[in-house]
Structure 1
Amino acid sequence: MQAPPLDLPDELGPFYRLAQHRPRCLGVQNRLLPLSELQTDPKGEMLVFGEENQGGFFWSLLWTLDGPEADPTIWFREYDEPPIAEQEPLSGFLIQFSLYEASVGAEYVALCDQVTEQQLDRLTEGLLPVPLRPFCAAFPTRFYVAPGLVLHVSDQRGDAGFSVWAGATHRAALALLGGTPLKWIRFDG
């Protein structure tokens, strides 16, 4: 793999400038690669710019000699599987990535799995849905927010319902979720 020249899509420049002052923007669970680690895939067709924490999947964008596309499609690739397009282009992907990392990297969390649709409806009643299409091709994930709180909901495979993970800046922000009768794996509220 070779290091590409730094002709990046417009959306990545401000994101990397922000990360110079706030390195956590690059991720705490999964990560967006620092500029010095950007690379092309073995075929030289994709610019790999993000990866899962255990190396199981990565995110990339089409690499061309014509220069970067405006707000390009992001490609999710798991192991040796064919790449799958993320539902949001780079601009939406960066918002979703940031929300996901804010929830999993928070000091105060609440998590539960095997949540039914009815329980999920009740749990998200007082939250604002983020108006983007689902994030992450492997486990479609939607986001809900409230002051000091980010909640992400992932579809589980099969009939296992939903997985819910909330991250908060303060334990009091989790109080919005405490009234829903769930068997929490962890609840810091």
Structure 2
Amino acid sequence: MAELGRKYKRLSAAQWSEARALWEADAATLEELAARFGVTTRAIQRHFAKHGSKKGTRAKAIATEIEAAVLSEVFGDPEARLEKSRAMRASTFDTLTRIERTVMGLVASAEANPAEGYKVGAALRAMSMATATLERCFNIKSACLGIKGDETSDELPQIHIVDLTDDEINRMRRENEEGCELEVV
């Protein structure tokens, strides 16, 4: 006689761990997990609810680990990456300084000989395009090095804390109200 009713499948602890890892890494849907492990989607939902598993909670951590591994593989160690970023900043700064000197020379030339205004204007537009290109190159290099924001600086800013007397505070307030610039120490 044929047996009626449902057959239930029990997953091992290792299978549940694998299912939770896939779910938390956002690597599978409930339906995919149910098909893979031969259980119902409701059984998976109940198990995840019981153990507090949430979809995708480990995805960002995994992405960060992968990014660190790739950067480590490409640049060897963080010091090499930091050194490349410092060299890139120094090179960019030197180039911008040369562009600045050229622009100031062109402005001085235009002041000295207003008849050459069109030539100077064209040269200034070329300098503007060169600067924009340099900025794009810097941003692309930063992205290649995996630099976000001002990550290249390993020095902390210095903060000077000064205990001011009541007279000094009142003097500063008076000067501020009078529109005078404050003296920076």
Q: TM-score range by the shorter chain?
A: under 0.3
Higher RCO by CA contacts (8 Å cutoff, separation 6 or greater): 1
Higher strand share: 1
Question: In proportion to residue count, which structure has more helix?
Answer: 2
Greater Rg, structure 1 or structure 2? Answer: 2
Q: TM-score, normalised by structure 1?
A: 0.22
